[in-house]
């Protein structure tokens, strides 16, 4: 099967799950054309992401003249179909926060994508996220390109379903993917009941071969790691408050923050204000090998998010045989089971988060080890990328 992945900015350090999915499909014999609107804006520190960037065609990089030629060619081939696609773009643009003009730009991008897909013999296009990439995939199909599907991750898409025309995108798709049952339920809110059967669940995948048998949990003071963009929804500031409470009884507790983003100045200021300079390490973005090493050095992943879909880092931590302390939101409870593979706490509650960290510190070492082993087994059974990619491909072929 010839597949096109239509993406916004790719690759990105936080989107390694897309890379894994694409490569798993290729390993199963499918051909994948990577078509992104633009390159990612974050530095690429992982060699695999650098390879993906080299393998990706960038629509906007083609230049205005190439985009104009593609648009005129698609219009000339089927004027009435082009005008119907334009009407669809205008309709979505009127509902959108970014407006009609931006959606006409998406139409031009879709015309270019239509030509690329035709040249590559693409029979199915898949997009990740329900934002502009899914719009381009939908318009590509409306222009005569391949049938399409898209994966919705959340939480951003769930914040503006009408503005993103999620219901329209689901209705016009061959199928739509939620990464959890919770995600599927949110899509069902905006798609008519006649389309519910096309909303599928395909989990984001991990590569079991990249996670050797879990190493024993470390001895010594409690070590936590938090991984993610430094933005409000990830809750890093709350993690700092919780750590400050924990250090009152466990002064040697340590938290490593992996990632970067717009809130770094606020995070650094809060670390200084709380006097946690000796208890915190900031690494910036690092590659997958470093992430695994940091997880293996820690007792648990800390995920104090206010809004999520189902974070990949939870899967990676559990695959590494590490416990998870996360908030009880969205799809996280489908993977993290309280007192069996980790702890779940209410979002926004620093006291509850600190108590969970304290509970881990006071837990019997054998109980911790048993929970870590259970976490490893659960994620391997549910999130093997080979199995999930095969499921996705079956929907594309069905």
* Residue among 39, 57, 172 at smallest CA distance from 115: 57
Instruction: Give me the mean pLDDT over the 45-59 stretch.
Output: 94
**pLDDT of amino acid 213:** 85
Express as a percent the part of the chain with pLDDT over 70. 100
**pLDDT of amino acid 326:** 98
Task: pLDDT band for 242, please (50, 70, 90 cuts).
Answer: very high
Task: pLDDT band for 287, please (50, 70, 90 cuts).
Answer: confident
Task: Please state, rounded to an integer, the average pLDDT across all residues of the chain.
Answer: 96
**pLDDT of amino acid 42:** 81
Q: What contacts 142, CB < 8 A, 6 or more positions away?
A: 81, 84, 85, 88, 110, 172
Packing angle, helices 64-77 and 79-95, rounded to 10:
120
Q: Which two tokens stand for residue 190?
A: 């905006």
Give the span between the Cα atoms of 211 and 318, in whole angstroms.
10
- For domain 2-205+384-397, the CATH class is alpha beta
**pLDDT by residue (tens digit) across 357-381?**
999 999 999 999 999 999 999 999 9
Q: For the ranges 79-93, 122-136, 167-181, 283-297, which has the lowest average pLDDT? A: 283-297
Q: Which residue has the tokens 């470093």?
A: 290
Kindly report each contact of residues 53-59 with a partner whose C-beta sits within 8 Å and lies 24 or more positions away, as own/partner: 53/10, 53/11, 56/10, 56/11, 57/33, 57/116, 59/35, 59/109, 59/112, 59/113
Task: pLDDT band for 125, please (50, 70, 90 cuts).
Answer: very high
**pLDDT of amino acid 212:** 79
Task: pLDDT band for 234, please (50, 70, 90 cuts).
Answer: very high
**pLDDT of amino acid 211:** 87
Q: Which two tokens stand for residue 240?
A: 């700092």
Task: pLDDT band for 289, please (50, 70, 90 cuts).
Answer: confident
* Torsion angle of C-alpha atoms 10, 181, 382, 24, degrees rounded to 10: -30
CATH 3.40.50.2000 fits 209-382, yes or no: yes
**pLDDT of amino acid 288:** 83
Task: pLDDT band for 322, please (50, 70, 90 cuts).
Answer: very high
pTM above 0.85, yes or no: yes
Give the number of C-alpha atoms closer than 13 A to the C-alpha of residue 91, restricted to the C-beta side.
13
Q: Write down the domain spans for the chain.
A: 2-205+384-397, 209-382
Question: Are both 2-205+384-397 and 209-382 of the same fold?
Answer: yes
Is the model's pLDDT at 10 over the cut of 90?
Answer: yes
**pLDDT of amino acid 45:** 84
Instruction: Give me the mean pLDDT over the 96-123 stretch.
Output: 97
């Amino acid at each position: 099967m010839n597949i096109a992945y239509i993406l916004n900015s790719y690759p990105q350090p936080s989107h390694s799950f897309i890379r894994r999915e694409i490569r798993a499909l290729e390993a199963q014999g499918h051909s994948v054309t990577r078509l992104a609107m633009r390159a990612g804006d974050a530095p690429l520190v992982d060699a695999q992401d650098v390879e993906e960037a080299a393998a990706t065609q960038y629509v906007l990089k083609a230049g205005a003249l190439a985009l104009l030629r593609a648009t005129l060619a698609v219009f000339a081939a089927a004027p009435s179909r082009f005008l119907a696609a334009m009407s669809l773009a205008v309709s979505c643009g009127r509902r959108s926060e970014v407006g009609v003009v931006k959606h006409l730009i998406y139409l031009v991008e879709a015309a270019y994508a239509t030509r690329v897909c035709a040249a590559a013999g693409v029979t199915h296009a898949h997009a990740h996220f329900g934002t502009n990439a899914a719009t381009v995939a939908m318009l590509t199909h409306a222009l005569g390109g391949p049938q399409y599907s898209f994966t919705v991750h959340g939480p951003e898409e769930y914040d503006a379903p009408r503005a993103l025309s999620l219901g329209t995108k689901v209705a016009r798709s061959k199928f739509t993917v939620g990464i959890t049952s919770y995600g599927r339920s949110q899509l069902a809110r905006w798609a008519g009941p006649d389309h519910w059967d096309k909303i599928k669940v395909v989990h984001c995948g991990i590569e079991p071969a990249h996670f050797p048998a879990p190493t024993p949990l470390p001895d010594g003071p409690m070590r936590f790691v938090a991984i993610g963009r430094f933005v409000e929804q990830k809750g890093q500031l709350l993690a700092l408050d919780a750590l400050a409470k924990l250090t009152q009884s466990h002064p040697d507790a340590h938290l490593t923050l992996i990632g970067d983003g717009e809130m770094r100045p606020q995070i650094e200021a809060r670390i200084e204000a709380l006097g946690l300079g000796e208890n915190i390490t900031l690494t910036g973005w690092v590659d997958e090998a470093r992430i695994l090493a940091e997880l293996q050095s820690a007792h648990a992943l800390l995920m104090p998010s206010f809004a999520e879909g189902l974070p990949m880092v939870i899967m990676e931590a559990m695959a590494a045989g590490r416990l998870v302390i996360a908030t009880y939101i969205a799809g996280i409870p489908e993977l993290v089971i309280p007192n069996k593979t980790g702890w779940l706490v209410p979002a926004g509650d620093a006291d509850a988060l600190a108590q969970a960290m304290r509970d881990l510190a006071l837990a019997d070492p054998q109980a911790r080890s048993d929970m870590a082993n259970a976490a490893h087994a659960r994620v391997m059974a549910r999130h093997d990328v080979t199995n999930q990619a095969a499921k996705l491909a079956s929907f594309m072929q069905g």
